[in-house]
Structure 1
């Protein structure tokens, strides 16, 4: 009889690119496959996709991952699949369980009119919202998208349900309808003091209070896979919702303890901090006013404090402007900028900010490309330092920090970050989002004899030792 290798799949349904990692039970990563997330942009800043396209993308990634893994180790059996991904955007289901509306991107600003109207009608609601939900009162949270859908002809009844994208995909693959806490925290419909639906918020928004399904934490079995579009090797695999992509990436990168910080350095420069226990309404209001959000972490009993700047986007634009966006040009610029000490007077790079979309450069004579690149890396690092300073008076300093992501492959970026973030190390894990999801898939299959926090901590140690041995290329 032909031998069979047990594997686990972690999916990360991303904003720009979605990925799947196939890993063995001894934490050996076999292959990562990816594909663009199928967004459609329309005039007026509207960006959306369909639930069906996202499900098709997920099943295609699973299929490709299985086939690529079998080219490496032969026949495989998929034991578990975990799905992480972006939040805020989700799927509205009608009474029959069918999708009833498009998926609005998390950054789509539809709903701002409804947000402004409710704030005007209920004085003090924005502060109340920030304290209860840990989110700013704007168009990003799911509650704003739901109000927009309702006001634009989409029926939302007591029989309707709202699922995040990872929850929807798990359900469509054969799992139950569940509410994972880190994803539900981005809806604006959860009271962070209790972790339960915030009934006053539903009432104020004019939404039925049964929209969200029952809670099931990340890394717990949500059902068994039963779907015709995936290979037979996946039949009856354990399904779990891994959670919001940022805390899941923190797990994959090895930031798994209390008061640990994870810095994901990609197009967005995201900082995710774990805080033991639950914050107060006042602490959440202060954090939101400082540009952060506060909700449930994937780790049990922990709060996730999250913020970001557009550092990666700024760096990419500066590289392009300098003509150094090829691998060779990037390496040369990276090396030359390490020799830059003090920046010349009058040189300034700005624009990453919380909402800034533009790069602004002020310079005088004698500014070389290396000096300009050094100024850009130091600016983005300083933006992160300012974010951290804004919360340390509320939740105290972090005790350990881990950075990962594409930009950390450049020595100049690593040096700038190390000067701005205390106790910083760099993760060897190349794809922390799907790595964290795969770890949660493994926990969902385990016998439950070890708690999630301890399981992830032990598995992360093994992951950091084997991360450099990825056998399959990204395909």
Structure 2
């Protein structure tokens, strides 16, 4: 009789790159496979893809993950698959359950005219929106994308459904149509007081109240992988929606306690904070006014507040401009910048360009690559410190901080972050998003007798090094 090794697969469908991680039942990470997320970008800033393209991407990643596991372990059987990813992007389904519109990127600018129109018609709507949903009234939330689709020829009538990208993938792989709370809280259609649909928001946007499916928490079984979609070694695997990529990454990095802060240091420098229980309308409005958002965490009975700066993007551009984007050049610059004390007069690095994406460097006579890099790391850290100072006036200080992500491999970045974030430690997990998803795949197969946070703490005690396969 053939002996199989049991494995669990976590997917993280991201903005730039999508990944899948394979983990064994005894918590060994076998490998990560990754591929570019296939967005189509237009010259005017529009960015979109299709539901079918994303489904094919997910299936390919699962198949490649199984092959990676078989290369290392021999015959395998996938017991659980969890899908995390971007939140505001979603798939509009018609009454027959078929994709009926393009998938707009979460950062796509479409919807701003609809936002402006509703604001003009009801000047108090923006404040009410922040109080009820915990989000700023802008074109990022799914509600604005849905309003744009409706205004531009896509019918959203009775029987239509809106699934976030991870929810859609799980459904098409064989799961039920479900609404995972951390993803749904980014739509702008959920009343955070009740976790149910916000009827006034549906009415104001002209959307049917049954647009979102029933709720199912992250890490709970949403169904099983369809036999006709399953690559060898994955038939009948338990499926679960892992949730929004940021709280899933916090889970993977080990930030699972109350009042804990997770800093994901990738292309975006994202700060995610757990708050026990629910905020009230006044607190949510204050959170949004402080430059943050508030929604559901993947941890039970926990609020997630979220903010970010374009720290990683700025650091990458500065690194490239200094000619230090090779491993050797990066290491040399990292060492040299640690010796920098005071910055030379006149030197300033910021991200305050006219587009919001630009990097501005002002130089004096004494500037060197090391001082320029030190200025860049200190600027991004100061931006986070400002965010924290603003939010602490609303919800108080955090108890513990954890940072992870590619930029934290540099000592200079770690030093800058430690100066800005109190009680900070650094996670050895290099890919927290897929790590958190894999943990939720394992939890979905467990008997549920252990609380999710305790399950993660136990599982994260020992993690093997990971090989990345491009």
Instruction: Name the TM-score, length of structure 1 as normaliser.
Output: 0.97
* C-alpha displacement of 1:170: 0.2
Structure 2 partner of 1:110? 110
Structure 1 residue 86 and structure 2 residue 90: aligned?
no
CA distance in 1, matches of 2:353, 2:310: 6
Change (3 A) 1:312 1:296: same
Post-superposition CA distance 1:290-340 (Å, at most 9, x none): 110000000000000000000111111111111111111111100100100
Match in the other structure for 1:378: 378
- With over 3 angstroms needed to count, the CA separation of the structure-2 counterparts of 1:354 and 1:387, relative to structure 1, is farther
- Report the equivalent of 2:215: 215
1:466 aligns with 2:447: no
CA contact (8 A) 1:296 1:304 kept: yes
Give 5+ residue unaligned stretches, structure 1. none
Q: Secondary structure at the residue paired with 1:234?
A: coil
> SS at 2:343's partner residue?
coil
Identify the residue that residue 397 of structure 2 maps to in structure 1. 397
- Other-structure match for 1:453: 453
Is 2:24 aligned against 1:29?
no
Alignment match, 2:50: 50
Q: Which 10-residue stretch deviates more, 8-17 or 354-363?
A: 354-363
> Partners in 1 of 2:439 and 2:352 — Cα distance?
33
Residue of structure 1 equivalent to 2:411: 411
- Between the two proteins, the alignment pairs up a number of residues equal to 470
CA 1:354–1:225 in 2, change beyond 3 Å: closer, same or farther? farther
Quote how far apart the aligned CAs of 1:366 are. Answer: 1.1
Q: Which residue in the other structure is 2:195 paired with?
A: 195
Point out the more displaced range, 359-368 or 430-439. 359-368
Maintained 8 Å contact 1:308/1:354: no
Contact 2:277 2:303 in 1 (8 A): yes
What are the within-5 Å matches in structure 2 for residues 332-347 of structure 1? Answer: 332-347=332-347
Alpha-carbon distance in 2 for matches of 1:413, 1:352:
20
Q: CA RMSD in A?
A: 1.2
In structure 2, C-alpha distance between the alignment counterparts of 1:402 and 1:36, rounded to whole Å? 27
Map 1:246-257 to 2 at 5 A.
246-257=246-257
1:409-432 deviation line (CA, Å, top 9, x unaligned): 111000000111001111001110
Q: Residue 265 of structure 1 contacts residue 404 of structure 1 at CA under 8 Å; is this kept in 2?
A: yes
Match of residue 258 from structure 1: 258
Q: Distance in 2 between matches of 1:333 and 1:396?
A: 37
C-alpha distance in 2, partners of 1:245/1:233?
26
SS of the equivalent of 1:232 reads coil
Q: TM-score scaled by structure 2?
A: 0.98
Q: Which residue of 2 aligns with 1:120?
A: 120
Q: Tell me the residue number matched to 1:435.
A: 435
Tell me the CA shift for residue 459 of structure 1.
1.9
Task: Determine if contact 1:381/1:417 at 8 Å carries over to the other structure.
Answer: yes
Pairing 1:64-83 to 2, within 5 Å after superposition: 64-83=64-83
| Deviations, residues 56-81 of structure 1 (Å, cap 9, x unaligned) | 00000000000111010100000000
1:2 CA drift (Å): 2.5
Report what 2:159 is aligned to. Answer: 159
Indicate the SS of the match to 1:466: coil
Give the structure 2 partner of residue 312 of structure 1. Answer: 312
Shift in Å, 1:435? 0.4
CA distance in 1, matches of 2:372, 2:453: 43
Give deviations 1:105-161, integer Å, cap 9, x for gaps. 000010110110001101200000000000000000000000000000001011000
Q: Distance in 1 between matches of 2:138 and 2:66?
A: 41
Corresponding residue SS for 2:128: helix
- For 2:281 and 2:355, how far apart are their aligned partners in 1? 25
Asked if the contact 1:291–1:354 (Cα under 8 Å) also holds between the matched residues in 2, the reply is: no
Change (3 A) 1:169 1:449: same
2:17 corresponding residue in structure 1: 17
Structure 1: distance between partners of 2:31 and 2:413: 27
Q: Distance in 2 between matches of 1:353 and 1:433?
A: 30
In structure 1, the residue corresponding to 2:228 is in which secondary structure? Answer: coil
- Structure 1 residues 177 and 61 mapped into 2: Cα distance closer, same or farther (>3 Å)? same
> Hey, what's the Cα distance between the residues in 1 that align with 2:231 and 2:354?
43
SS of equivalent to 2:218: coil
Q: Which runs of 5+ in 2 are unaligned?
A: none
Distance 1:377 1:456 in 2: 31
Partner of 1:225: 225
Shift of 1:227: 4.9
- Equivalent position of 2:172 in the other structure: 172
- Measured against aligned partners, the alpha-carbon deviations of 1:158-181 in whole angstroms (never above 9, x if no partner) come to 100000000000000000000000
Q: 1:99 maps to what in 2?
A: 99
CA contact (8 A) 2:353 2:359 kept: no
